Amino acid sequence: MSRNGRTPLPAKVFLHMGGWRQPLVMVDSIVDYKYGDNGFIKVIKHVTFNEPYLQGHFPDDPIMPGVIIAEIFGQASEYLSFLTDICDIWEQKTGAALRNLRDIESQARGEEMLEIIKARRLKVRGVLAAQNLKFKDIAWPGDTIEVMSKLAFSDSQGFKHYAVSAHVGKRIISQGTVINFREDK
């Protein structure tokens, strides 16, 4: 069980959902997700001293680079889109609705869910752009960054615009918009 009393997604399921591998996995866990028009995702990134990018940013006073925070925003937003895809596919296949992280976690250990996740990951790819990101404070080793991503809107060309924010405790360290274009391969 996790600290919030919920069973997290199994590691193999989590890794199949994302297209990233070390050293570029920037999301340590998904802590909340809601499907639908007011959908969102919350993810966690623990900043540790042994992160490879901290060795040079800055050796005597390491801080989380802004470009890495932007990457966390992008990965969180892709997880939001991906989980939404999975919920839609699951409902089409089974007739059962998955509307939040608890619903997904309840099915995550089953082979059918893992097959849906693997098949979808092989089919989708995307590109990302950051827009109006503002960096307001610093994250240091030892901090835990909580990132929230919400779909603001989808435009007529198929781009999804996400409102994103990053907090360390009650301190907001960054916010802005990321834009993602996803397509089937």
The single residue of 16, 46, 57, 161 carrying the catalytic annotation is: 57
**b/e string for 10-38 if b means 16 or more Cβ within 10 A?**
eeebbebbbeeeeeeebbbebbbbbbeee
Instruction: Decide: 162 and 151 in contact? Cβ < 8 Å.
Output: yes
C-alpha neighbours within 13 Å on the C-beta side of residue 59: 1
Instruction: Decide: 18 and 75 in contact? Cβ < 8 Å.
Output: yes
User: Is residue 16 annotated as a catalytic residue, yes or no?
Assistant: no
**Cross-strand bridge partners of residue 162:** 151, 178
What residues are labeled active site? 57
